[in-house]
Structure 1
Amino acid sequence: MNESNEASRRWQRKPDGSNWGEFGANDQRGRMNLVDRAKVLQGVAEVREGMTFCLSLPLDYPGGQTMNVRRQPPRRFAVLRDGKSAGQQGFCWSYRSEDPDLTDVVNDDVVLMSLQYSTQWDSLAHVGSHFDADGDGSDEAVFYNGFRAGEDIRAGVETEAAEPWARYENPEAGALSIAVLAEHGAQGRGVMIDIERHIGRKRQAVGYDQLMRILDADRVTVEAGDMVCLHTGFADTLLSMNKSPDLKVLHESGTGLDGHDAKLLNWITDSRLACLLADNPAVELVVPKPLTPAPIRGPRLPLHEHCLFKNGIHLGELWYLTPLAHWLRENDRSRFLLTAPPLRLPGAVGSPATPIATV
């Protein structure tokens, strides 16, 4: 099946304000297509000091499940060998049980965690929408570029597992998985927008007008293909809580973009930025669900819909940006080389990350 026929199988209509088909009918990279060889070289050109910043929280943060009951913190186990664990023997693995002349002492372990528990990437398979893509009058659950839930992106098979996180086995993003981003490399020019510098750490939805004032004040320019980071200080506050998150404090200090601001969404489209990366839990400020459902049909997370579903813009959440933001502020800079590949895990819809900024 050729590319145009493949596209027509998935969609006859595309959502308003979307770029479906811009990079080809079968494209799965979205705006990361703009992070090409030239953008990598632009990022490399920003390296002047040879200093690096780790932009990941420790992956056992936030701690517990207070912030998100659906996401499990890491649980680590020692690998079994010959039916016994290292703990049963009281020391690390030794090959002397096989040959008394061998001197090797070995550790090996296993981790079980939600892939989007801590510092993370959202793939384009993370959020879709109910939309009438084939024009038959009934909506379907679809994702970026019309890839279909139940066909291209499948939920796991329900089992009788006692623990909720293990109840659905073998989910599969046959399209748009996080592995597509890993294969790209996710390296290019990062640009910091230091929101905390101007409004502090307080709960506020930042719309287009305020964001433009911040860009003007700090002389920050966002160009096509830039990987844009939003510093609010949230992850730094979270880190200070030592894996015991205080939701009241976090809700009061949580800042994010205003996903309900149409002008802001238009700017995200028109700026041609490649991805949006924030140190808060969702990039946008999540508005609590009202007690009385709103009569207007639409998304709970409008910025997620605009970015992931409509325009193929990957999102990064809970990145640790404060030390880098402060260094850039002190040195009157906003750009740097960003290297941030996720795990190359086929079929996954998200991934932990250990991004590195080089200045």
Structure 2
Amino acid sequence: MTEKRWVRRPEGSNWGDFGPDDQIGRMNLLTPERRLRAIREITHGETFTLSLPLDHPGGNTLFEYRKEPRFFYEKRGPAHNYNFRLSNVCGCFSDVVSDDAVLLYTQYSTQWDGLSHVGQLFDADGDGMVEKVYYNGYRGGIDIVGPDDASEGQGAKALGIENLAVSGVQGRGVLVDLDARYGRERAIVGYEDLMRVLEEQRSGVETGDFLCLYTGFADLILEMGKQPDKELLSSSCAVLDGRDERLLNWITDSGVAAICADNFAVEAYPAKPGPGDTYPGLPLHNHCLFKLGVHLGELWYFADLARWLRGHDRWTFLLTAPPLRLPGAVGSPATPIATV
């Protein structure tokens, strides 16, 4: 490895543009002026929760390596510290207390992908050898350390989700109502399709905006009552076409700070085969997380907000969506709030 983290950056990336040690990517575009612009979107003072219940989708059929939350309760003397009556020598305390703990997969339900979530095999040193590399040249096994890399000190030493948390995740959201056009039909949405919907809505996207995609996928999950039908879900609702170069170029040029969708991966997965012998299996994740530092939100819930926005013939709102400030995590649950 060279003294610098990289001497080559991927084609089309912005590595180094926000500084050699940047860890928040395009969240840097959320300036105070742009936040003030977003606050001016509020005209009614109504709020909408954009999170699924965090025990959804239910089970692990949607993605076998992520499991629903499990609760635990600590013992306190002979009983558990739940519905536990406090007492003292005189027995005069009347308080009853409850504590709990939870085993929570950070990307099981409504979530943020951290920039340490998806990297690539890439020759960042320019020596003809590929390495495991993440946004801005941070390295797998050095900066992002897993249990197969070391016996202790694991986690994202760089690009952890806590960096997103402290960046101030608040700005203008722009909802794209793909559900109104495609309904539950499976649709692979490319650049022209997305532009058509934006034109029909008479809405645009500006630098620093959060692009929010309503497809109806999360609504379908809720209807399944924690018994997800993987085959039906994989053949329903709109997803972005991560292989569409025009779409990827538009994401670059638009200046969006993040992309948030109500579906499983924002993009079609598995994607269509790519060019050459090796290529990213998640091309939009590669473009956003690895190259540009554009965070991705997945499995958000937009139905109530979309209904209100349709009724008021507008598509913009104030979005407040911090992740957990959990050092070393590569993703995080979220409970985003839209204010209109």
Q: Pick the TM interval, shorter chain.
A: over 0.9
Look up the match of 2:214.
231
Please report how far the alpha carbon of residue 79 of structure 1 lies from its aligned counterpart in structure 2 after TM superposition. 2.8
The share of aligned pairs that are identical, in percent, is 54
The corresponding residue for 1:122 is 113
Distance 1:107 1:98, change over 3 A: farther
Change (3 A) 1:61 1:98: farther
Return the match for 2:305 from 302, 314, 324.
Answer: 324
Deviating 4+ runs (over 4 angstroms): none
Preserved CA contact (<8 Å) 2:81 2:99 = no
SS in 2 for 1:250: helix
User: What corresponds to 1:57 in structure 2?
Assistant: 52
Give distance in 1, aligned partners of 2:197 and 2:34: 24
Q: Which residue of 1 aligns with 2:19?
A: 24
Take 1:150 and 1:248, find their aligned partners in 2: how far apart are those partners?
A: 35
* Paired letter, 1:328: L
Partner Cα separation in structure 2 for residue 262 and residue 255 of structure 1: 18
Secondary structure of 2:319's aligned partner: strand
Q: Which residue of 1 is the match for residue 30 of structure 2?
A: 35
* Partner Cα separation in structure 1 for residue 137 and residue 24 of structure 2: 13
Supply the distance in 1 between the matched residues of 2:285 and 2:246 (Cα, whole angstroms). Answer: 15
Structure 2 gap ranges (5+): none
Paired position in structure 1 for 2:279: 298
What amino acid maps onto 1:140 in structure 2? Answer: E
Partner of 1:141 in structure 2? 132
Name 1:108's counterpart in structure 2. 99
Distance in 1, matches of 2:98 and 2:15, equals 48
TM-score (norm 2): 0.95
CA distance in 1, matches of 2:333, 2:89: 37
1:152 aligns with 2:143: yes
Contact 1:7 1:25 survives alignment (8 Å): no
Q: Is the 8 A contact 2:179 2:237 kept in 1?
A: no
TM-score, length-scaled by structure 1 = 0.91
TM alignment of 1:305-320, pairs within 5 A = 305-320=286-301
Contact 2:241 2:271 in 1 (8 A): no
| CA–CA separation in structure 2 for the residues paired with 1:254 and 1:99 | 63
Distance 1:28 1:127 in 2: 14
How many correspondences in the alignment? 340
| Distance change (3 Å), C-alpha of 1:8 and 1:214 | farther
Measured in 1, the distance between the counterparts of 2:326 and 2:276 equals 40
In structure 1, give the amino acid aligned to 2:267: E
Shift of 1:42: 1.3
Code of the residue aligned with 1:77 in structure 2: it is F
Q: Following superposition of structure 1 onto structure 2, how do residues 1-359 of structure 1 map, counting pairs within 5 Å?
A: 9-82=4-77, 84-86=79-81, 92-96=83-87, 99-156=90-147, 171-287=154-270, 296-359=277-340
**2:317 maps to amino acid:** F
Give the secondary structure class of the aligned counterpart of 1:9: coil
Aligned amino acid, residue 95 of structure 2: D
Distance 1:324 1:261 in 2: 28
Contact 2:209 2:258 in 1 (8 A): yes
Structure-2 separation of matches of 1:148 and 1:83 = 48
Shift of 1:203: 1.2
Displacement of 1:294 in angstroms is 8.1
Contact 1:157 1:170 survives alignment (8 Å): no
Structure 1: distance between partners of 2:232 and 2:2: 47
Question: Retained in 1: the 8 A contact 2:170–2:320?
Answer: yes
For residue 4 of structure 2, give the secondary structure of its aligned residue in structure 1: helix
Unaligned residue ranges in structure 1 (runs of 5+):
1-5, 160-167
Shift of 1:252: 2.0
Q: 1:77 to 1:135 in 2, by over 3 A?
A: same
Q: 1:59 to 1:50 in 2, by over 3 A?
A: same
Pair 232,104 (structure 1): closer, same or farther in 2 beyond 3 Å: same
